[in-house]
Amino acid sequence: MSRVETTMMWAEKYRPMALDELVDQEEVRERLRMMLEHPDEMPHLLFAGPPGTGKTTVALIIARTLLGDYWRDYTLELNASDERGIDIVRERIKAFTRYVDMRSGIPFKIVILDEADEMTGDAQTALRRIMEESSRIARFILTANFSSNIIEPIQSRCAVFRFVRLGEKDVAGFMKRICDEEGCEYEEEALYLIYELSSGDMRRAINQLQATAVLGKVTVENVRNVFGVGKRSLVKDMVHAALKEEFNKARGTLLELIRVYGLSEKDIMKFIFEDVMAYKNLDHVEAARLLAEYDYRLSRGSNPEIQLAALLAELGALSRK
C-alpha cells in the first residue's frame, strides 16, 4: 500500500484560482464580478457561510485580481482564532498599513481576516476601530461561519456576501475532475458517500477523497474503511512509533492524521491518552502528567502540529526511562 504524499494536499492543489472555476455560489460570483469592475469603490467585505464553501478561496482570488503579480506583498492574511488576542491582530495590521509604498496600479492593501466570528465582542469593537483607522490604505475581507456573530457596527460597514452549502452533484463533479486529473479510479456511489460524510464542505470532501485514494480505487468499501477504523488505528501506529523513539515516522503519521484525515487535535489527544494508558512498561503517572501539560498548551491555542510533535518526542524519551 502506498502512502499518500502528505505535502501535496489536493485541497490546496485544486483550490480555484478564478471565479469561473468555483462550484456553486452564483450569486456571490455575479455581485463580485460587478464589484471588481470598479475596484476604487470596493467597500470592506464580509463573507458568511458554512466551512469549505469557498470564502477564503474567493478572498484570495480578489487579492490576486486587484493586486496583480505582487498581490502577496500587499495582502495580509490573519486567522482570528489562531492569533493570540486582538492586540496581536492590531499590531500586525498597524505594521502592515504603516507604509504607503504602493506600486502604481495598486488601489489599496487587503487584509483577509479569517474566522472573524471567533473573536469576542470586545475584540470586534477594537477591530472596528482598526478598520476605521486604516480604511484609507486597506480594505478588509472578513470571513465568518455566521454573520449574526459579527457585531452590527462591523456588518454595517461591510458588503455582506452569503456563501451557500455546496450541492451534491457539484461536489461529486468536482471530485470526478480531481480523480481524472490524478488518474484515480472511482465508483460514482463512493463519491456520493463522501459527500454525505462531509456534509457539503468541499475541503473535507477533497481530504476524504485523498485519504481514500491512498488505498487505491475509490470504492464505497474503501471509503467506509478509511472512515471507520482507519484513523483510530493510525493513531495507534503513531503512538507505537513514538514509544519506539522512531520520531520521524511518528511525526509523518501525525501530519497525515491532521492534514489528510482532518482529525482534530482534541481527538488526537484523546486517542493518544487511551493508547498510552494501555501501554505496559511505561510510567503511567509521568505519562499522564505529560499529556495533561500538552492538553493545556493546546487549549491555550498553541500550534497543534508543533505541540503534538513535541509530545511525541517526549513520549519517546519517557519510554527510555
Ligand X SMILES: Nc1ncnc2c1ncn2[C@@H]1O[C@H](COP(=O)(O)OP(=O)(O)O)[C@@H](O)[C@H]1O
Binding site for ligand X (CB under 6 A): 11-12, 14-16, 22-25, 51-57, 143, 166, 174, 202-203, 206
The C-alpha cell of 190 is what? Answer: 463512493
25 binds, among ligand X, Mg ion, none (CB under 5 to 8 A by kind): ligand X
Q: How far is CA 81 from the centre of its chain?
A: 11
| Strand 109-114, strand 44-48: pairing | unpaired
Least separation in angstroms between CB 184 and ligand X: 16
Q: Could you give the C-alpha distances from 21 to 16, 29, 261, in angstroms and in order?
A: 5, 11, 25
206 binds, among ligand X, Mg ion, none (CB under 5 to 8 A by kind): ligand X
Instruction: Read off the DSSP letter of residue 254.
Output: H
260 binds, among Mg ion, ligand X, none (CB under 5 to 8 A by kind): none
97 binds, among Mg ion, ligand X, none (CB under 5 to 8 A by kind): none
The C-alpha cell of 50 is what? Answer: 458554512
203 binds, among ligand X, Mg ion, none (CB under 5 to 8 A by kind): ligand X
Q: Is 57 in the site for Mg ion (CB under 5 A)?
A: no
Give the other-Cβ count within 10 Å of 210's Cβ.
25
Which residue has the closest beta carbon to Mg ion? Answer: 56
Q: Is 56 in the site for Mg ion (CB under 5 A)?
A: yes
Q: Is 208 in the site for Mg ion (CB under 5 A)?
A: no
Least separation in angstroms between CB 47 and Mg ion: 8
Q: Cβ closer to Mg ion: 1 or 18?
A: 18
Question: With contact defined as beta carbons under 8 Å apart, do 194 and 179 qualify?
Answer: no
Q: How far is CA 220 from the centre of its chain?
A: 26
Query: Element (H or E) spanning 75, and its range?
Result: strand 75-79
User: What's the CA gap between 50 and 163, in Å, rounded?
Assistant: 7
Least separation in angstroms between CB 114 and Mg ion: 5
Q: Cβ closer to Mg ion: 162 or 232?
A: 162
Q: Cβ closer to ligand X: 15 or 231?
A: 15
Q: Cβ closer to Mg ion: 114 or 256?
A: 114
Least separation in angstroms between CB 55 and Mg ion: 5
3-state SS, residue 78? strand
Q: Could you say which residues in the range 97-126 bind Mg ion, by CB under 5 A?
A: 114
Least separation in angstroms between CB 115 and Mg ion: 7
Q: Cβ closer to ligand X: 203 or 231?
A: 203
Alpha-helical runs (H) found in the chain: 10-13, 26-36, 55-67, 86-98, 121-134, 152-155, 168-182, 188-198, 202-213, 220-225, 231-243, 247-255, 265-277, 284-299, 304-320
Site for Mg ion, rule CB under 5 A:
55-56, 114
